[in-house]
Amino acid sequence: MASRSNRVLVPQAKAGLDRFKMEAAREVGVELKEGYNGDLTSREAGSVGGQMVKRMVEAYEKNL
């Protein structure tokens, strides 16, 4: 049985993570739908993920 590496470890955080993803997507101009977004290009998906990481690093550095 394969394990899922992208599962949410704290189920109560899922809504917050989804909101964060939607905000990051808007910032880079990618239109996300609720639910499945498998029709995104690799570039679009990467830009959303990259924006999320950028914001997390900025938040971390601000709290140092």
pLDDT in tens, 15-32: 899 999 999 999 999 999
Stretches where the chain sits below pLDDT 70 are 1-5
Q: What is the mean pLDDT of the chain?
A: 90
Provide the pLDDT for residue 2. 55
Q: Which helix (H) or strand (E) holds 25?
A: helix 14-27
**In one letter, which amino acid is 30?**
V
**pLDDT recorded at residue 3:** 59
Helix orientation angle between 42-62 and 14-27, rounded to the nearest 10 degrees: 110
pTM: 0.78
